[in-house]
Amino acid sequence: MRTFEIPTHYRSHLIGRLKAWRKAQDPKKKDLSPTLLDLGAVRFVFARHFGFCYGVENAIEISYKALEENPGKRIFLLSQMIHNPAVNGDLTARGMRFIQDTHGQMLMDWNELTGDDIVIIPAFGTTLETEGKLKAIGIDPLKYNTTCPFVEKVWNRSAQLGQKEYSVVIHGKAKHEETRATFSHTAAGAPAVIIKDMTEAEELGRIITGDLPVERFQALFGTRCTPGFDPDRDLQRIGVVNQTTMLATETQAIADHLKQVMVKKHGEADLKHHFADTRDTLCYATNDNQDATNELLKADADLAMVVGGYNSSNTSHLVELLEHKFPTYFIKDETEVLSAETIQHFNYPAHKLETTNNWLPPKRPLTIILTSGASCPDTLLDKVMLKVLGFVEGALDPVEAVDAAIA
């Protein structure tokens, strides 16, 4: 796999070295066991896979390349390039401006743009409608297009399904940039509907089998389907794709459920005519991070810390996995570790910041799981670890400990 030119301020001099060492030891990624960094009074447990994925590094490389190649030009980010405030903040500090927020709401008027401006498409991709607006202004939306190749793979698979006259069920969050983009590209060639979870998949299944009236479809999915979607006609042949940052296990479970629904309605012998196998659209990086996080659940730890942007879907799913076993704190960076007594963290289900007291147990040695989402620079994990170490007396020097670990 190719390597990318990433600014050095995103590279970690501590935890990144551990990650590189594990990668060299296990290039085929067969060993998902966590990495232990023993600092005596405190021990940190790191997931086998965490941090920047292929698509994120690709997006960062292209964005900084746009800055280098266009001195003096106005450069715009269509929306957040990735869901990490540190990265987006660094780009805007260098003069970039956002055109839209993460929900597609305009932050400026399209009329402010000219054909001489540069617009960077985010890693999530964008809709065909937005591409058309940029082209009408005279801006090439593909010149600095950072759309993740694995997102484009989903679009291509959706197009193939449409060509074979399947309807496409998209497992995703309807307001998320990636799902909006996938829906737009899919709708160009196939009927499509967005479902958010297994509960909705089960409802859709009951509509398909006739256990729920067809009118129920409009009530549940009327705002999340292509115009003119006819359940009687368009749910005869289906395939499932996903927003690549969703829980891969959930997407697979949804596909397996709808497959059985089609078996129930049409019989095993005629299954291939009614259900397309689409498991090849699952993102490898999302799978790796989630599989590695599941391995963390086997650890004997006192708490878990997950670092990433609050609006990062893949990061929220890591939190979701870990909080089943450990007290888990979702933070954007080290500034939220206020003291040994107090931490500020994000409650993802409630979408609000919370403050927890007495979060750091007094026991020694203390074992802390520390990981991050796919859009989080490894340097932020260094800073979080060092901040925590400042509250623990008697901890070993982390530089010496990393040197010893990889010797």
Catalytic residues: 178
| Same domain, residue pair 257 and 318 | no
User: CA 71 to CA 88: how far, in whole Å?
Assistant: 19
Bond prior to 27 in cis (omega within 30° of 0): no
Direct distance between the N- and C-terminal alpha carbons of the chain, in angstroms, rounded to an integer: 26
223 lies in some domain: yes
Q: Report the alpha-carbon distance of residue 294 to residue 33 in Å, rounded.
A: 10
Indicate which CATH number applies to the domain containing 377. Answer: 3.40.1010.20
Is the residue at 147 inside a domain? no
Last residue of a domain, one of 137, 157, 175: 137
pLDDT digits (tens, 9 = 90+) for 331-388: 999 999 999 999 999 999 899 999 999 999 999 999 999 999 999 999 999 999 999 9
Same-domain status, 268 and 299: no
Q: What is the pLDDT of residues 172-227, one digit of tens each?
A: 999 999 999 999 999 999 999 999 999 999 999 999 999 999 999 999 999 999 99
Q: Which H helix or E strand runs over 171?
A: strand 167-171
- Structural tokens at position 403: 């040197």
100 residue type, one letter:
Q
Within a domain: 161: no
Q: Is 310 domain-assigned?
A: yes
Do 37 and 64 belong together in one domain? no
Q: Is there a single domain that holds both residue 338 and residue 321?
A: yes
**Residues 177, 273 within the same domain:** yes
Q: Are residues 272 and 289 in the same domain?
A: no
Does residue 157 lie within any of the structural domains?
no
Among 76-85, 199-208, 318-327, the range scoring the smallest mean pLDDT is: 76-85
Q: Is residue 2 part of a domain?
A: no
Q: Evaluate whether residue 88 is within a structural domain.
A: yes
Final residue before a domain boundary, out of 221, 255, 281: 281
Q: Are residues 213 and 324 in the same domain?
A: no
CATH code, domain with 64: 3.40.50.11270
Q: pLDDT tens across 105-133, in order? A: 999 999 999 999 999 999 999 999 999 99
DSSP string of 81-117? SSS-HHHHHHHHHTT-EESB-TTS-BSS-GGG--TT-
Question: Is 224 found in the same domain as 263?
Answer: yes
Q: Which of 265, 281, 297 is the last residue of a domain?
A: 281
CA dist., res. 183 & res. 170, Å (int) = 8
Range of the domain at 205: 166-243+246-281
261 plus 320 within the same structural domain: no
75 with 47, same domain: the answer is: no
